[in-house]
């Protein structure tokens, strides 16, 4: 299935190929809690940007393994990139930034990122 997503102002637009999203990770780490991210993960090659990478601002913290990408205009954080425990490139997609998705229907899996 192809999902379309963007930041609030539309400067960062993308599509992501994924199985139907039914469950998301509800992380309590310092950034996810503050920004309200609901995440699901795909191989990095399944994320295709429709806007130039130069339009994206990136923030890293702590171990710097995850690159949190956001729009420098509206501040919205539609996705992040990094590696999984096996070294594979992944994308963490913020389900809140997808078009035509019923957030209330998603099962939320709590994740204690604060302690990880």
**pLDDT tens sequence across 23-50:** 999 999 898 899 999 999 999 999 999 9
Show Cβ contacts of residue 1 under 8 Å, excluding neighbours closer than 6 positions: 17, 18, 19, 20
In a domain, 116, yes or no: no
Question: The domain that contains 32 carries what CATH number?
Answer: 2.170.150.70
Quickly state the pLDDT bin for 116 (edges 50, 70, 90).
confident
In a domain, 81, yes or no: yes
- The half-sphere exposure of 115 on its side-chain side, counting CA atoms within 13 A, is 3
Query: Between 87 and 65, whose confidence is greater?
Result: 87
Backbone angles phi, psi at 54, to 5 degrees: -65, -15
pLDDT digits (tens, 9 = 90+) for 50-81: 999 899 999 998 877 889 999 999 999 999 99
Q: What is the pLDDT of residue 43?
A: 98
What is the domain extent for residue 78? 2-111
* Residue entry with tokens 């990139």: 81
pLDDT digits (tens, 9 = 90+) for 89-115: 999 999 999 999 999 999 999 999 888
> Is the entire prediction scored with pTM above 0.85?
yes
**Coil, helix or strand for 95?**
helix
How many domains does the chain divide into?
1
In a domain, 64, yes or no: yes
């Amino acid at each position: 299935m192809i999902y379309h997503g963007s930041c609030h102002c539309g400067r960062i637009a993308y599509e992501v190929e994924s199985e139907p999203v039914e469950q998301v990770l509800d992380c309590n780490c310092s950034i996810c809690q503050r920004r309200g991210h609901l995440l699901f993960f795909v191989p990095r090659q399944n994320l295709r940007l429709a806007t130039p990478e130069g339009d994206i601002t990136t923030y890293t913290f702590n171990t710097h393994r995850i690159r949190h990408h956001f729009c420098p205009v509206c501040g919205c954080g539609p996705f992040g990139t990094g590696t999984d425990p096996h070294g594979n490139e992944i994308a963490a997609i913020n389900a809140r930034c997808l078009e035509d998705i019923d957030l209330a229907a998603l099962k939320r899996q709590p994740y204690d990122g604060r302690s990880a």
